[in-house]
Amino acid sequence: MTVSTAEKTERLVDMEFRPGELPAAEAVLRPDAGEERDVLRDNKRTSLAAWLALGASAVILAIVVGNAAVSFATAAFRDGSVVDMLLLAALAVLAGSIVTMLARQTQALRKLKSAERAREMASRLVRLDSAGSGTRLLAVLQALYAGNPIVLGQLRTAASAIQPHHTDRDVIELLERDVFTAMDRAADERIQRAAIRAVVGVSSCPHPALDALVVVAVSVALIRDLMSIYGLRHSARSLWRVLTHSLVTASSTAVMSTVVDFAMQAAHDRIAAAVAGTAGEVLIVARRIFALGALAKAEIRPLPVGER
């Protein structure tokens, strides 16, 4: 009986390690590289509210501009109104300039590189606050500015100033001070000029459609200026956010202009209503252009804003 039990125990132990006798392990599903990229994309998908805001803004802008074009053309050719003929010409010039700038912008997007990878790397380095990875960030920046000898020289000078005891945060602060501070000053000046141009254009235009097109033209020109300053382009996701902000600003400007026109017609003192309405409108437009500039600047900089 004892021998039988020992043999049984020995047989059981042998069976445990015999190939094919163990139960199959449960399969653990792991996403492959393509699925991981899809997960990342899903996390960065545009929300439904953003899509609705963009669609509503585009519809409002198209209705206002289309209605204005029809009204100007009808009054100009049927009634022979010189004023409406001039307004129609101004509308056509603004629309043509916007299309031209967008075409040139598309060509520039093909030539320039996006700094999104460098910005994400810099954000990780700041959060980790470690040492030794700043040189990788420098290598990424040098690859971005390989065709820009001025910035490339500044990056090499900054690289030569890095010491072994410097942390990654020190490297980022060095890059900010020696390379990107001058770019930021130039960008801030362009944003201020864009706000002034938008204020002057909106306050001098006599129709909501012209106000909206002025805002779009100023926004597109501002994005082009920031691209020339930093020598980079926005990524597709960043450009989507910036253009959405621009369309929302333009459509809201058209709505505000329409409200001001209605208030002028309903008010007893039309001059006072026009002055008050236009003043409030240009203040809102200036604030929105500053916000657009800050967004476009943050989305194109190789280093994140506020993480210095």
**One digit per residue, pLDDT tens: the chain, 308 residues?**
444 554 444 444 444 445 555 444 443 333 334 433 433 343 456 677 778 878 888 888 899 899 989 999 999 898 888 998 999 999 999 999 998 888 888 877 777 788 777 878 777 776 766 766 777 888 888 888 888 888 888 888 888 888 777 787 888 888 888 889 999 999 999 999 999 999 999 888 888 888 999 999 999 999 999 989 998 888 888 888 888 899 888 888 888 888 877 777 776 666 766 677 778 888 899 999 999 999 999 888 888 876 44
The confidence score (pLDDT) of residue 46 equals: 64
Q: Is 230 exposed, middle or buried (0-12, 13-18, 19+ CB in 10 A)?
A: buried
> Which residues 6+ apart lie within 8 Å of 146 measured at CB?
152
Distance between the two ends of the chain, CA-based, in angstroms?
79
Residue 281 CA to residue 210 CA, distance in Å, equals 14
The confidence score (pLDDT) of residue 221 equals: 93
Number of H helices, E strands in the chain: 12, 0
Question: Directed axis angle between helix 181-204 and helix 208-230, to 10°?
Answer: 170
Residue 242 CA to residue 253 CA, distance in Å, equals 16
Q: Residue 80 corresponds to which tokens in the numbers above?
A: 């022979």
DSSP assigned state of 108: H
The full set of domain ranges for the chain reads 60-110+181-300, 116-179
Q: How many CB atoms lie within 10 A of CB 70?
A: 11
* Nearest CA-CA partner of 102 in 197, 201, 196, 242: 242
Residue 256: which H helix or E strand, with range? helix 236-266
The confidence score (pLDDT) of residue 40 equals: 37
122 contacts 170 by C-beta, under 8 angstroms: no
The confidence score (pLDDT) of residue 4 equals: 52
Q: Residue 70 corresponds to which tokens in the numbers above?
A: 């029809």
The confidence score (pLDDT) of residue 105 equals: 80
The confidence score (pLDDT) of residue 254 equals: 87
The confidence score (pLDDT) of residue 17 equals: 45
- The pTM score is 0.75
Residue 206 CA to residue 211 CA, distance in Å, equals 8
